[in-house]
Structure 1
Amino acid sequence: MRNSILIAMTVVASAAAAPVMAERLRIYSVDAPPMTMDQADQGGFVADITLEALKRAGYQGEIIFDPWKRGQQEVAEGENLLIIPFARSPAREPNYTWIAKIFTTERSFATVGKSIDSFEQARAELSSIIVGQGTAQEELLKAKGFPQSQLRTLKVGQRETEVLSPNGDEAWFNGTPETLWKWKRSGRPEKIVIGKAVAFDDVYLACSRKCSPHLVETLKAAVDSVIADGTAQRISDQYVK
């Protein structure tokens, strides 16, 4: 009898000593450097900030690079699925749970040639505008009344830098940091001209519409702490300076 009790106590003690595995959360993303990057050695500053926040909140993260439109749909229809980098917009607002703002990005027109500094100028002077399919940029252009005939919609990641016309009659409408990052690494000899910022968007860590209130609360607090103590800025500086 004494041996049985001793064995039972040993089993309980071993179980208590065993490490508890942190819950793994799925994070849907897109290759949008320098914010998020599908690379083994660099994840992008939004991804790194998000993973640090998850770590502080006691979770592990698994980043998934599905086609962007499909990923958005899976998160919207799923439960407790995360998504980054996600611009908050009226069209997206009711379909997701908005956990925490990570940073604010500017959007601009980029050309090889002249500066395009407003939507009005773009509408009047450009023959076509390259824009990523399913992105906040595409939503914005459509909301501004740009005709589909003027938009050259590409799947995200189709190397916009390679197809942008050198004649100055076509622009790429995108987040400014990503445009500069990709152009610098494209190998093209021309100078890219970035127009004045025509829009600013808050970029969020978001979750499925069906998202645990506890998960939302703990992740928001963790993101806020990463920003408040300067960690987020230090991470960003590694990519953009």
Structure 2
Amino acid sequence: MFAVLKLVCLLFALLFMGAASAREPLKLYMPDAPPLTLHHYEGGHGMVGDVVLAALARLGRLTQIVAEPWPRAQARVTNGRNLLIIPLSRTPEREDQYTWIASIMLLERAFFTLDEPVNSFAEARQRYKRIGVGMGTAQVAILQREGFDDSQIVQLKLGENPARLLTLGRIDAWFTGVPEALYIWEGSEHRRQNLRKSPTLASTGLYLACSKDCDAQLVEALRTAIGELEHEGISQRLREAYMPLQPDP
């Protein structure tokens, strides 16, 4: 079924390529953040990436995927025009900086450790001296809003391996999206160790967003296409193809 969906997306792209070629490709800024977005993976571009690219194909728009450090990508899109970005959490700090097109999925976040998990932010503030989070991600703002000291928040650059840092004891916990943690852990050399997960302590919608200065017709067309994919059940099947294994209780 997943292969069929991929073929459908490709056919959409080919069908509209003639019309799209006359227009400049839309720039889509996205990090390599598996399984949400993937740059170089033969099966697709991730849980959020596949849905957005399928929507763009329905519009007959060619897309240029742009890979930049996540903080820089956000700044470039905010200050640009008609630049798209995924997967962006809709947080209070970002609300006025973008045009929010459509939610692609809900992202649950939790603490991951190798010992007994915490049950609340309050417990985590007391127990953890160093918490790994992705640089420029919503996780940073969430922890700051929950009263964590900046000295407790270790911002990891793209390419740093949080699973390895956790096993080496360089961070006490890893605060991230549940799909990301499970996907990375399953593919790491440390997967035989028992990764422990706290209850879900925060959730935000992951959006396709555009620059603050964004063409209204483009916004409405993409919003409609994403709604159609969701209604037809295609989006759900695309996301499910990347669902990682669940950790042991």
TM-score relative to the length of structure 2:
0.86
Deviation of 1:166 (Å): 5.5
Equivalent of 1:237, from 236, 240, 243?
Answer: 240
Residue identity matched to 1:20: A
Residue-by-residue CA offset, 1:141-169 (whole Å, 9 max, x unaligned): 11112101111111133111111145697
Q: Which runs of 5+ in 2 are unaligned?
A: 1-16, 245-249
Residue-by-residue CA offset, 1:72-121 (whole Å, 9 max, x unaligned): 00000000000000100011110100000111010000001111221011
Judge conservation of contact 1:110–1:116 (CA < 8 Å) in 2.
no
Residue aligning to 1:51:
53
CA distance in 2, matches of 1:65, 1:181: 21
Deviation of 1:198 (Å): 0.2
Residue aligning to 1:193:
196
Q: CA RMSD in A?
A: 1.7
Residue-by-residue CA offset, 1:172-197 (whole Å, 9 max, x unaligned): 00001100000010110311101100
Q: How many residues align?
A: 224
CA distance in 2, matches of 1:146, 1:165: 23
TM-score relative to the length of structure 1:
0.88
Which range moved further: 21-30 or 223-232? Answer: 21-30
CA distance in 1, matches of 2:113, 2:210: 35
The secondary structure found in structure 1 opposite 2:208 is strand
Task: Give runs of aligned pairs for residues 16-27 of structure 1, distance below 5 A.
Answer: 19-22=18-21, 23=23, 24-27=25-28
Moved >4 Å (runs of 4+): 165-169
Q: What fraction of aligned residue pairs are identical, expressed as a percent?
A: 39
Judge conservation of contact 2:90–2:206 (CA < 8 Å) in 1.
yes
CA distance in 1, matches of 2:35, 2:218: 27
Kindly name which structure, 1 or 2, has the bigger radius of gyration based on alpha carbons. Answer: 1
Residue aligning to 1:101:
103
Q: Which runs of 5+ in 1 are unaligned?
A: 1-17
Residue aligning to 2:247:
none
Residues 187 and 54 (structure 1), Cα distance of their counterparts in 2 relative to 1, 3 Å cut: same
The secondary structure found in structure 2 opposite 1:191 is coil
